Amino acid sequence: MISPLNIIVCAYRDWGIKIAESLPQDLATYTILRSKEEYDTHFKNYNNDADIILFFGWSWIIPDDIVNNNICIGLHPSPLPKYRGGSPIQNQIIAGESVSAVSLFRLSDKLDKGDILYQEVFSLEGNLSEVFDRIVISATKACEHLLRTFADTKLLVALPQNETQGSYYKRRTPEQSEIKLEDFTTFTANELHNKIRALQDPYPNAFVVCKDGTKLYLKLSAI
Amino acid sequence: MKTLFLAYRQWALDVYPRIKKHPKISEMKLCTTHEELVAANPESYDLILTCGWSDELYDLANKVQAIGVHCAELDRYSYGSPIQLQILDGIKYTKHRIFPFKWDATSKRAHTHTREYSHETVLDLTGGMKDILHQMTETSVVLFNMFLDDYPNQIVWKQWPEEELVRPKRNPSDSEIKDISRMTARQIYDFIRCLEDPYPNAFIKDETGTVYFKNVEFKE
């Protein structure tokens, strides 16, 4: 009888919490930390007893002593090494990508640059809520694959990222959600639609500053 | 009283189960297409109630009393697309009225051409189409019930004032936003919201395709 794994999951976004709650129950006991406060409290007296610590869309710096003394795995919704950094979903959709991947990778001291453990593709088509539903499904599949392999072999096979393929983006700001009036003549129909759907709720919606200076928020479009 | 209820749009179909409970109605048959109407032997009914019905009743309207609901206060919106045209003209509140269906082969107007109405309620046009259509369901129930309460002997027909120009019905190509840079936020907002589903959505097109705007938000 194999003793279940002891896994800590750090996730505060809805999609991250959904993944955490979908992980296979037969493999591990999970401690889900749903906020920075829960994370701080838990790690105050932590004695490195977790088999794995998972970070799903986590936005805070993780101290070196945790990264160096534990198996820390991050989840990033892009086909790393592409679209490292902030707002990966928005940046991919706006760039016109139609297929992405959930990447599981070993955390390192460099942002989203750790060795890749597993990637599971998903489609970027449709509305943002549909994209997030697919991320949850693909991420759950990827995590299950990784955790079952680890439970069986105690091994994690990781491949370094190809630095020549890498790209980095900063987190988007609300001001970047503007569609300028001239964009309506220079953007293609697809580019307009992609910008609107990439910035649906709960993100700062695409907006137009009209000739009277008033902002108009474009919440839903179709092509 | 034997009645026919003519409707095919969802907001109008939602009226039917509530109206058929009126105590003066012994029978109410629903028709959702012209074919169903013809097959129903309509001349055998006492009254025809139409709700959002676009087809002409032709001579049938002269043989059986037929009424409908129309959502405009001014005569200029007596033809098609009254909600869209009123919103585009900046109208925030209008009237929802019972009118008698008539048929006049020489008329260039739609079936409201007599300008007669019996009962009216206020209709708020300030929200999105979902809100407006929900209101139309609710106000139609009220209007039909008021009409049926007064039917047949206490109906008082009034007339709204005639205007020279009656606006033409919109068609799907009118949903194109031609020059967004010349429009105020309010104008763009009104244009997009009055063309929300189930109407032909506002769109911009180029040689690569067409993008439809389905929902928009505006804060004064």
Q: Which residue has the higher pLDDT, B218 or B118?
A: B118
- How crowded is residue B67: how many other Cβ atoms within 10 Å of its Cβ? 24
> Which long-range contacts does B15-22 make (Cβ < 8 Å, 24+ apart)?
B15/B51, B15/B137, B15/B140, B15/B141, B15/B144, B16/B51, B18/B141, B19/B49, B19/B141, B19/B144, B19/B145, B19/B148, B22/B144, B22/B145, B22/B148
The owner of tokens 């012994």 is: B26
Least Cα separation, residue A204 to chain B (angstroms): 12
Judged against a pLDDT cut of 80, whether residue B220 lies above it is answered with no
Residue B81 Ramachandran class (φ > 0 left, ψ -120 to 50 alpha, else beta): left
- The pLDDT, as a whole number, for residue B106 is 78
Give the model's confidence band at A110: pLDDT under 50 very low, under 70 low, under 90 confident, else very high.
confident
Q: To the nearest 5 percent, what fractions of chain A are helix, strand and coil?
A: 35, 25, 40
> Which helix (DSSP H) or strand (DSSP E) does residue A32 occupy?
strand A28-33
| pLDDT for B123 beyond 90 | yes
Distance of CA B210 to the CA centre of its chain: 28
The predicted structure's pLDDT at residue B196: 94
Q: What percent of chain A has pLDDT over 90?
A: 87
pLDDT (average), residues B125-141: 96
| Residue A55: predicted pLDDT | 97
Q: Which residues of B touch A218 (CB under 8 A)?
A: 213, 216
Q: What are the angstrom distances between the C-alpha of A162 and each of A122, A159, A167?
A: 21, 9, 11
- Helix, strand and coil percent figures for chain B, each rounded to 5: 30, 25, 45
A20 alpha-carbon distance from chain centroid: 13
The stretch B28-56 carries a mean pLDDT of: 94
- CA A126 to chain B, closest CA, distance in angstroms equals 13
Where do runs of H (alpha helix) occur along chain B? 10-13, 16-19, 34-39, 60-63, 82-88, 129-150, 185-193
**Radius of gyration of the CA atoms of chain A, in A:** 19
Chain A within 8 Å of B198 (Cβ-Cβ)?
A: no
Q: What is the pLDDT of residue B57?
A: 87
Residue A212 has pLDDT above 90, yes or no: no
- What is the C-alpha to C-alpha distance for residues A7 and A56, in angstroms, rounded to an integer? 13
Complex prediction ipTM: 0.80
- Amino acid at position A120, single letter: E
State the amino acid at position B166 in one-letter form.
V
Average pLDDT for chain A: 94
pLDDT score of A1 more than 60:
no
Q: What is residue A127's DSSP assignment?
A: -
pLDDT confidence tier of residue A3, bands split at 50, 70 and 90: low
- The residue in chain A having the minimum alpha-carbon distance to the alpha carbon of residue B211 is A223
Indicate which of B211, B212, B216, B218 best probes the interface with A, i.e. most A CBs within 10 Å of its own CB: B211
CB contact under 8 A, A188 and B186: no
Cβ-Cβ contacts under 8 Å, A181 against chain B: 180-181
Mean pLDDT, to the nearest integer, of A27-45?
A: 95
- Cβ within 8 Å of A, B 125-184: 180-184
Say whether pLDDT at B184 is over 80: yes
Percentage above 90 pLDDT, chain B: 77
To the nearest 10 degrees (0 to 180), the angle between helices A14-22 and A128-153 is 40
Q: Would the pLDDT of B104 be above 90?
A: no
Contact B190, A210 (CB under 8 A): no
Where does the pLDDT of residue A111 fall: very low under 50, low under 70, confident under 90, or very high at 90 and above? confident
Q: Is the pLDDT of residue B29 over 70?
A: yes
| Chain A residues touching B184 at Cβ < 8 A | 210-212, 214
Q: What angle do CA B176, B178, B184 make, to 5 degrees?
A: 105
Quick check: B8 contacting A, CB < 8 Å?
Answer: no
A148-162, B66-80, B103-117: the lowest-pLDDT one: B103-117
Residue of B199, B206, B207, B212 to mutate when probing chain A, most A C-beta within 10 A:
B206
